[in-house]
């Protein structure tokens, strides 16, 4: 059944939306012509939502091969005068940074908004970097919403601001805004821009050779002076409430502040900053002068604090508290509790809420629902591939792994993952490790990640005679972020069928001589192929190809196919626990000392049956 998209509706409709869905709705209201993205939590729903309605609203949407390309494709359209949106998670901006830094010099014609979703507490990321500094570094305006309604309104404003200044504008989200739900009032969906979209040939502006770059840097600084005047007057920078105490905050932190002040029964003036670059210097300076004390509440780095302190030099005798006083941590998400505790330390007030009592209740609940760390799904082909690697290469081998579901393989008992840094890094790291150690080296990468950032590493490895096995776990989707297509899947963000690009062809074109495609469910072949690859004197590539077990299950259910089931024959099982200790499939359980397969979880991959030394596991209806 097709469900209507939550972002479709007439002007005036009020709907409960995720922050990311609100951004997608804002994009429709802004009349964007092009949206690009590389999926990454917590940003993925922006592109996924737009992908589903792109055709209906006449816009072009693509999942680009990586964030750098996504920014370039969208920027190409924006320099021609089209409105363009690009979205990514925070670390994606590292990949796109090279383009972004100089794009700020070149500027745009049509509105161009870059949405970056930061992940304080690193719920689904390899770091907690604070992307507000990218706005400062690239010197582009940055907006920071606190709610889904804010996110939609700021995105719309971001397009006008971008067109007014002819600059890319950044919209900085965090997990708690991307994934928070809130009521959003729909505005009118704009017609696509009627102005002529054409490439404005102007080499002095668009060709960044040194002589032009020096000039354009000055132009950028002038544009940002104009941006400062806009920031001083913007309604997005506003004071909420009234009191002697002054709180300076932005984004998700604003919500924690308001709740904390209510819990403490305190009156305060809260300066909610929506434009966080350039900061409204005069507004901040006046605010600081009129309040005492000043408390700066923000997540992660002391981005606001440093600037507020610099901007309010004249008010140096007013106590100004923030992260430099260890009032709030520089790591992890904030919470109402953390902010209450910080404010109560300074204001000597006790909250009307007993957090210890809540902790006691929470610990009771924890006993009823023990924590369940993320694991590979039942029937996941990565589990079979990891088992084959372990058998063939053993514990002595060094496994560099990458970003994706397969990072879960670093946990015991599979323990495939000795180093993980960022997208695509497994291949380069494996090359370097292989140059200095004698142990076997295996670089593990997923299919989407291979396209994203591994190909230069592979070319480098071949050309510079590195020695390692590159294992591509090809589950034919971008599974970790909700099954978006990639260049190897044969489907685009617009839902069109296209010719997939085969990883094996790329590997061969990179000069790899040993390239094999293996079904990891065929454990015997998988193990022998890894052994053969380890003997190869140059970089080798094994592509373990098998559709993600979730998609496989969905397809079978849709077609009404029977899902095979496996069971343990109790009479044959000697309880060696090999199936549990070596595979850790969540469907294999132990109760009262007996090993059994939970039929609601088993997807019938048959891997456990292949490794049971007693042949005690068999397909239901078959006996060994």
Contact positions vs ligand SF4 (CB under 6 A): 378-379, 566, 568, 573-579, 583, 585, 587-588, 595, 597, 602-608, 612, 614, 616-617
Q: How far is the CB of 616 from ligand SF4 (least distance, A)?
A: 4
CB 34 within 8 A of CB 164: no
DSSP string for residues in 289-329 = HH-SSEEEE-SSS-HHHHHHHHHTGGGTTS-EESGGGTSS-
Q: How far is the CB of 591 from ligand SF4 (least distance, A)?
A: 13
Q: How far is the CB of 96 from ligand SF4 (least distance, A)?
A: 39
Our CB check for ligand SF4 shows the closer of 279 and 612 to be 612
Q: What are 356's two structure tokens?
A: 């210890």
* CA distance linking residue 518 with residue 386, whole number of Å: 13
Q: How far is the CB of 583 from ligand SF4 (least distance, A)?
A: 6
Q: How far is CA 91 from CA 41, 97, 120, 127, 398, in A?
A: 10, 10, 12, 8, 25
Q: How far is the CB of 380 from ligand SF4 (least distance, A)?
A: 8
Our CB check for ligand SF4 shows the closer of 510 and 553 to be 553
Q: How far is CA 12 from CA 9, 159, 187, 188, 495, in A?
A: 8, 21, 6, 8, 30
Our CB check for ligand SF4 shows the closer of 42 and 378 to be 378
Our CB check for ligand SF4 shows the closer of 506 and 607 to be 607
Q: How far is the CB of 545 from ligand SF4 (least distance, A)?
A: 18
Q: How far is the CB of 401 from ligand SF4 (least distance, A)?
A: 21
Task: Say if residue 76 is exposed, middle or buried (CB neighbours under 10 Å; 0-12, 13-18, 19+).
Answer: middle
Our CB check for ligand SF4 shows the closer of 9 and 606 to be 606
In the three-class reduction of DSSP (H, G, I as helix; E, B as strand; rest coil), residue 87 is classed as strand
Q: What are 195's two structure tokens?
A: 């102005």
* Ramachandran assignment for 443, one of left (phi > 0), alpha (psi -120 to 50 degrees), beta (any other): beta
Helix H or strand E segment including 118: strand 112-118
For residue 112, the cross-strand partners are: 84
Q: How far is the CB of 413 from ligand SF4 (least distance, A)?
A: 13
* CA distance linking residue 163 with residue 150, whole number of Å: 20
Our CB check for ligand SF4 shows the closer of 293 and 606 to be 606
Our CB check for ligand SF4 shows the closer of 127 and 574 to be 574
CB 171 within 8 A of CB 154: yes
Q: What are 500's two structure tokens?
A: 């997939």
Q: How far is the CB of 586 from ligand SF4 (least distance, A)?
A: 8
Q: How far is the CB of 386 from ligand SF4 (least distance, A)?
A: 12
Buried b (16+ CB within 10 A) or exposed e, 348-362: eeebeeeeeeeeeee
Q: What are 171's two structure tokens?
A: 């919209």
* CA distance linking residue 516 with residue 536, whole number of Å: 12
* CA distance linking residue 354 with residue 219, whole number of Å: 55
Helix H or strand E segment including 534: helix 523-535
Our CB check for ligand SF4 shows the closer of 205 and 556 to be 556
Backbone φ and ψ for 592, nearest 5 degrees, come out as 50, 40
Q: How far is the CB of 408 from ligand SF4 (least distance, A)?
A: 15
Q: How far is the CB of 377 from ligand SF4 (least distance, A)?
A: 8
- Alpha-carbon torsion (495, 499, 503, 507), positive or negative: negative
Our CB check for ligand SF4 shows the closer of 510 and 568 to be 568
Our CB check for ligand SF4 shows the closer of 274 and 520 to be 520
Alpha-helical (H) ranges within 54-198 are 67-79, 92-106, 132-138, 148-165, 175-178
Q: How far is the CB of 483 from ligand SF4 (least distance, A)?
A: 19
Which among 143, 167, 163 is positioned nearest to 153, based on CA atoms?
A: 143
Our CB check for ligand SF4 shows the closer of 82 and 617 to be 617
Q: How far is the CB of 578 from ligand SF4 (least distance, A)?
A: 4
For residue 86, the cross-strand partners are: 36, 114
Which among 180, 256, 132, 131 is positioned nearest to 20, based on CA atoms?
A: 180
Our CB check for ligand SF4 shows the closer of 72 and 552 to be 552
Our CB check for ligand SF4 shows the closer of 487 and 602 to be 602
Our CB check for ligand SF4 shows the closer of 78 and 609 to be 609
């Amino acid at each position: 059944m097709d469900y209507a998209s939550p972002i479709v509706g007439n002007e005036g409709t009020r709907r409960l939306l995720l922050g990311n869905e609100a951004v997608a709705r804002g994009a429709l209201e802004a009349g964007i012509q092009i949206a690009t993205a590389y999926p990454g939590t917590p940003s993925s729903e922006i592109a996924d939502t737009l992908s589903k309605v792109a055709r209906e609203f006449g816009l072009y949407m693509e999942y680009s091969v990586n964030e750098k390309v996504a920014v370039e494709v969208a920027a190409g359209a924006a320099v021609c005068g089209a409105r363009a949106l690009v979205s990514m998670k925070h670390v994606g901006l590292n990949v796109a940074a090279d383009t972004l830094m100089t794009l700020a010099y070149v500027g745009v014609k049509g509105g161009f908004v870059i949405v970056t979703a930061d992940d304080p507490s690193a719920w689904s990321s390899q770091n907690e970097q604070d992307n507000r500094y990218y706005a400062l570094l690239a010197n582009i305006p940055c907006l920071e919403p606190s709610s889904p309604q804010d996110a939609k309104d700021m995105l719309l404003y971001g397009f006008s601001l971008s067109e007014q200044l002819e600059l890319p504008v950044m919209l900085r989200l965090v997990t708690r805004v991307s994934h928070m739900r809130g009521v959003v009032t729909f505005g009118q969906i704009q017609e696509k821009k009627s102005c002529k979209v054409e490439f404005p040939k102007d080499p002095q502006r668009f060709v960044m050779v040194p002589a032009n770059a020096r000039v354009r840097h000055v132009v950028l600084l002038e544009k940002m002076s104009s941006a400062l005047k806009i920031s001083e007057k913007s309604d997005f920078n506003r004071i909420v409430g009234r009191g002697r105490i002054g709180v300076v905050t932005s984004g998700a932190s604003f919500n924690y502040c308001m709740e904390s002040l209510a819990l403490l029964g305190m009156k305060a003036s809260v300066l909610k900053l929506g434009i966080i670059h350039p900061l409204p210097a005069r507004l901040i300076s006046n605010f600081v002068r009129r309040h005492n004390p000043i408390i700066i509440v923000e997540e992660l780095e002391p981005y606001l604090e440093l600037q507020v302190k610099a901007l309010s030099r004249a008010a140096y005798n007013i106590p100004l508290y923030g992260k430099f006083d260890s009032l709030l941590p520089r790591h992890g998400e904030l919470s109402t509790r953390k902010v209450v505790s910080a404010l109560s330390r300074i204001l000597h007030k006790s909250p009307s809420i007993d957090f210890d009592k809540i902790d006691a209740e929470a610990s009771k609940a924890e006993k009823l629902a023990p924590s369940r760390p993320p694991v590979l799904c039942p029937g996941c082909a990565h589990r079979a591939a990891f088992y084959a690697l372990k058998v063939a290469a053993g514990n002595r081998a060094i496994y560099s792994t990458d970003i994706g579901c397969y990072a879960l393989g670093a946990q015991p008992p599979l323990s495939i993952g000795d180093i993980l840094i960022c997208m695509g890094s497994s291949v380069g790291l494996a090359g370097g490790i292989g140059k200095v150690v004698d142990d076997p080296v295996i670089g593990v990468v997923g299919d989407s990640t291979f396209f994203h950032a591994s190909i230069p590493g592979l070319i480098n490895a071949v050309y510079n005679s590195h020695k390692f096995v590159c294992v591509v776990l090809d589950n034919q989707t971008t599974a970790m972020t909700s099954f978006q297509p990639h260049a190897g899947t044969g489907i685009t963000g617009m839902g069109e069928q296209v010719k997939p690009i085969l990883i094996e062809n790329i590997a061969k074109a990179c000069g790899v001589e040993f390239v094999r495609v293996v079904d990891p469910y065929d454990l015997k072949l998988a193990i022998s192929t890894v052994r053969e690859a380890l003997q190869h004197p140059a970089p080798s590539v094994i592509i373990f190809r098998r559709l993600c077990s979730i998609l496989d299950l969905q397809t079978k259910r849709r077609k009404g196919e029977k899902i095979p089931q496996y069971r343990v024959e109790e009479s044959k099982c000697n309880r060696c626990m090999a199936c549990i200790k070596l595979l850790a499939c969540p469907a294999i359980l132990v109760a009262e000392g007996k090993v059994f397969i939970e039929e609601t979880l088993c997807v019938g991959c048959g891997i456990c049956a292949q490794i049971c030394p007693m042949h005690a596991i068999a397909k239901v209806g078959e006996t060994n």
